[in-house]
Amino acid sequence: MSPVSLLLNVLWIVCGGIWLAAGWVVAAIIMAITIIGLPWAKAALNIAVYTLLPFGYTVVDKPPGTFGGLFALIGNIIWLVLAGWWLALGHLIAAILLAITIIGVPFAWAHLKLAGISLWPLGREIVPIEDARRLVAR
């Protein structure tokens, strides 16, 4: 992780990023309790870590055949109805509040990226930016 990403992640946590990460952990716990929601719980925990440290990482689509197609579509629709919309709403509200200030613009952008993955998490993966650049270069 670059020094700039590290600094932005520390500022992110201090300025409230920990609260939305906690929201993701709560969503993961609720999904895990239901047993049938374990695939969503795993995705929610991965996104909780991404929400805690968003700078230096990005979201990419998983390669075809890993967990995609019809199962991911159905799973994402169920996720959207059960938890995705309120997590995305939290990120959207935080983005609007942070975008009001010039200092908050990078944080607002990070919240918008997180709002997108909040709506449709299955079939995607969080990777360091360096790895994403290598994947695109192929």
Rounded Cα–Cα distance for residues 127 and 131 (Å): 6
pLDDT at position 1:
74
Task: To the nearest 10°, report the CA torsion of 36, 124, 121, 34.
Answer: 10
Q: Tell me what percent of the residues of the chain surpass a pLDDT of 70.
A: 91
pLDDT (average), residues 7-27 = 87
Number of domains in the chain: 1
Q: Which domain holds residue 52?
A: 3-137
* Average pLDDT across the chain, whole number: 85
pLDDT at position 136:
58
pLDDT at position 68:
60
Among candidates 21, 83, 16, which has minimal Cα distance to 50? 21
DSSP helix, strand, coil percent of the chain (3-state; round to 5)? 75, 5, 20
Main-chain dihedrals φ then ψ at residue 110, nearest 5 degrees: -65, -40
